[in-house]
Amino acid sequence: MEDLGYHLRSAREQLGISIEELSETTKIDLEYLMAMERGDFDALPGPVYVRSYLRTYSIYVNLDPRQINKIYQEKKQASTETLSRTTRVQRQLEHQNSGSTATLSRSQKQDLGRSSEKMVTMSRSAVKNQTKKKKTSKKKKDSGFAKFYNGMLIVGFLLLLVASGVIIYLRSTTSEVAEISDKVKPLTVSETNVMLR
């Protein structure tokens, strides 16, 4: 796919457009543009992005986007076929070499089974420990807020009690004052002067 990248780069250079200007105008990340020009399409986020970026790039440098995408698909299919042939050969080699595992003794196979069971058990316990840690850390975070909230509730309740007690006290003293004022007559000025001396 290097030739596709070279084709894109040469079209851009013929128009006298810098790669930075292309990145700024097309809003395609500079690293992705450089990867496309190298023919390294695997560096791009995914096939949808590759097609979109190729389309945008080719339109900007006056190339046919359908033709560019067609070339890309053909190259990708050819590389996939080569890769699948390579993996088939690797599988055949592994299959030929796997005959040696069939010669394992019964105790070796049992040991292999036990070790795989241990791995499963260890991974399960690791997952359990991780979830426990998350739960305890959440409880610790919540406990600080819970203490604060409970304290505020208690303070609010006490304030409510004090306020209601003050109201009850004021009501009782007001009625007592009214009763006393009915019984006591006001002092005259001369009586007040006598008391002050």
Residues 79 and 16 in one domain: yes
Closest by CA position to 28, among listed 1, 8, 54: 54
Query: What average pLDDT does range 31-51 have in this prediction?
Result: 87
Long-range contacts of 22-29 (CB under 8 A, 24+ apart): 22/57, 22/60, 22/61, 25/60, 26/53, 26/56, 26/57, 26/60, 28/53, 28/56, 28/57
Backbone angles phi, psi at 184, to 5 degrees: -100, 135
119 in any annotated domain:
no
Residue 7 has pLDDT above 80, yes or no: yes
* Chain mean position to CA 141: 19
Measured between alpha carbons, how far is 87 from 94 in angstroms, rounded to an integer? 10
Question: In whole numbers, what is the pLDDT of the chain averaged over residues?
Answer: 74
More confident residue, 36 or 107: 36
Measured between alpha carbons, how far is 52 from 82 in angstroms, rounded to an integer? 25
Residues 90 and 8 in one domain: yes
Residues 87 and 170 in one domain: no
Structural domain of residue 182, as residue ranges? 147-197
Residue entry with tokens 């007592």: 176
7 in any annotated domain:
yes
pLDDT of the residue at 20: 93
- In which band, very low, low, confident or very high, does the pLDDT at 91 lie, cut at 50, 70 and 90? low
142 in any annotated domain:
no
User: What CATH number is attached to the domain comprising 51?
Assistant: 1.10.260.40
Measured between alpha carbons, how far is 133 from 140 in angstroms, rounded to an integer? 10
Residues 31 and 92 in one domain: yes
Output the 3-class SS for 96-149.
HHHHHHHHCCHHHHHHHHHHHHHHHHHHHHHHHHHHHHHHHHHHHHHHHHHHHH
What would the pLDDT profile of 120-174 be if each residue is shown by its tens digit? 666 666 667 766 666 665 555 556 777 777 778 888 777 776 776 666 666 666 6
8 in any annotated domain:
yes
Number of structural domains in the chain? 2
58 in any annotated domain:
yes
